[in-house]
A = this chain, B = another copy of it.
Amino acid sequence: MSESRAVVLLSGGLDSATALAWAIRRQGWLCHSVAFDYGQRHRIELEAAERVAESLGVVDHRTIRVDLGSIGHSALTTDMPVPKDEAGREGIPVTYVPARNLIFLSLATAVAETVAATKLVIGANVVDYSGYPDCRQTFLDAFIRAANLGTRAGSEGQELEIAAPLIRLNKSAIIALGLELGLDYVLTRSCYDPRPDGMPCGHCDSCHYRRQGFRELGREDPLPYPDAHA
């Protein structure tokens, strides 16, 4: 087991929780998890992030506030409607938040510098969300180059590396990995537009891909959906 230290982006959703489980249980890294309170309408994910972080045993977990709501232009941070039952259409979805991963990775880079971490871990994957430009490996590679040039740590030779362990996995493969690592998916929240009781809507893109992933795997999603027998 290596004693590497990592900063892990943890939204509280299925992907980032699996990436954290991979970093801790497969890689043996000491992990500092970071969630972002960015004005998202699905703030319930912040509590999910705390639960996941605690259950997997991070060194510490922090929630950083960054006001992306004032930048606007996404269905996730404004009162634009979240699309329902439209997963799989072409192009960049309206749930795209401008430069979100660029911003989150930049903040994670600052955390990495202060805790002397040499790894950034992100649950980005290109299979289901190919419409998000900031989930592609070419972006991640370009980002980490900029991050190393723009920080004290990087410019003094303590290079930061980026790990995106899910980048080529589809949703069912991600779930299979998490189950193998003993991750309890009941702790996670993926829905973009949760019901007042915090439970998933079942119909946004994020619910769609999650449910399809469990279905393909022949496993039961432990979360209750309003139309569980649909």
Contact = CB atoms under 8 A, between A and B. Distances in A.
Contact of A139 (B73, B103, B146): B146
A6 to B, nearest CB: 16
Nearest to A113: B98
A136 B111 CA distance: 21
What's the interface size class on A, roughly? 35 or more
Interface in A134-162: 134, 136, 138-139, 142-143, 145-147, 149-152, 154-156
A225 interface: no
A2 interface: no
B103 A110 contact: yes
A126 interface: no
A9 to B, nearest CB: 14
Given A143-B150, A146-B102, A111 B71 contact: yes
Interface in A87-101: 92, 96-101
Interface of A: 62, 64-68, 70-73, 92, 96-103, 105-107, 109-111, 113-114, 133-134, 136, 138-139, 142-143, 145-147, 149-152, 154-156
29 contacts: A64-B66, A65-B65, A66-B67, A71-B107, A71-B111, A72-B114, A92-B155, A96-B152, A98-B110, A98-B111, A98-B113, A98-B114, A99-B109, A99-B113, A100-B110, A102-B110, A102-B146, A103-B107, A103-B110, A133-B151, A133-B154, A133-B155, A139-B146, A139-B150, A142-B145, A142-B150, A143-B149, A145-B146, A146-B146
